[in-house]
Amino acid sequence: MGLITRHRRIWLLLALPFLFMPALANIFGIARPTEEDAPIHTPQSTAEWLSLPRAVDAWLNGNFGFRAAMLRGNSQLRFALHSPTTSRAAYGENGWLYLTDDAVFQQSMGLRMRVPLVTQLADIAGRLQAELGMRGARVVVAVPPNSQSIKRETLPRWARVDGVRTEYDVLRDALAERKIAFADLRTLLREEETRAEVYLKTDTHWNNHGALVAFNEVMRAAGRAGWTVDPSRVETGMEDVKENGLARMIGLEGVLFDRQPVIDLTSYAPTPYRIENLADRTEQPTYVATSEGNAGGPTVMVIGDSFTRYYFREFLMLKASRLIWTHHDQCAFDWALVERYKPDLLILAPTERYGLCAPGRAPRNEPALR
């Protein structure tokens, strides 16, 4: 008997072409990556000779033939087996993906309670209200929940808990003690989710419908019910979602898709506005949107993050003469913006996973801290 039986020889012959495909593709220039790493140069020193094997290995890993197809195939296989290609994403049921950054699962399960940092945020909201309230302005706090806190029936089974107290509850109670208006988006979105999807399946954010019903709740909490937008008037069909952050994390952007309602505000006769970006941050810089058509209207400031940067702008600019959006920076936002623009309505809206102050963070340029 030979070392390899006849049927195994057949399998070997079938497998060999696949094993040599990347090398042959490199030789003949087939299915090569469109963007190659810098070429490897001849070593000029002992140190470079010693590091040459590692450099060659890194170059081959990034430039072998059929690389994109193999990576995509690996991602699809891992997705089918519920085996994430990154620790930053977790698989739920029915194709739902969940972010794992910042221990959001533990936070939504009530296993992470950083009470002093949460109450620090409530104290900042209190100081904002004290300053703005002297001239009749209003402060409202709204916390866009983690998708784990809303889309619970598709969570991994180990993450499904009910009736637990979380940092969200700590903040809500702390704001109530300080008599600060609070839009309870968690309760709202849990109820709305029984009727329609409010979060994206392959991203961390809410969808257009979720953002709209959340906006309306914030306006009611702010005492501006006349600013609400009727979903039945503006939701006009469905559209593909262009940004799928979680799908991109697991290597399946363009394979896994989301759809959401199209928002058309034409029936509300929106007025044009211009945007000025301030050079204060590399990512998500502060912007000022100004509408001449709404001249004389209220000035609104939102201290938030990606959940409000774009989602709320079109809705607010239906009524506001000026909108200032700035990042909360986990409590290190620039207080000078509040003094400069003197908003009539200030919305403090950090996402649930950032619904507290980072250790050592405090508002910049706050008069009391100067």
Express each pLDDT in 185-220 by its tens digit.
Answer: 999 999 999 999 999 999 999 999 999 999 999 999
* Per-residue confidence (pLDDT) for residue 51, from 0 to 100: 76
Q: Average pLDDT of the chain?
A: 88
Mean pLDDT of 52-65: 66
Angle in degrees, 0-180, between the axes of helices 115-133 and 167-177, rounded to the nearest 10: 30
**Distance separating alpha carbons of residues 370 and 368, to the nearest angstrom:** 6
List the structure tokens of 248. Answer: 């991109």
- What span, in angstroms and rounded, lies between the C-alpha atoms of 208 and 261? 6
**Residue 61 above 80 pLDDT?**
no
Q: What is the pLDDT of residue 73?
A: 61
The distance between the two most distant Cα atoms of the chain, rounded to a whole number of Å, is 96
Q: Is the pLDDT of residue 75 over 60?
A: no
How many other CB atoms sit within 10 Å of the CB of residue 252?
Answer: 20
The per-residue pLDDT for 45 is 80
Lowest mean pLDDT among 51-60, 143-152, 347-356: 51-60
Residue 242 confidence (pLDDT)? 77
Residue 302 has pLDDT above 70, yes or no: yes
Among the ranges given (31-40, 157-166, 197-206, 267-276), the one the predictor scored with the smallest mean pLDDT:
31-40
The model's pTM is 0.82
Alpha helices in the chain (DSSP H): 6-28, 46-63, 67-80, 104-108, 115-133, 147-150, 167-177, 185-192, 208-221, 231-234, 245-249, 306-309, 313-316, 335-341
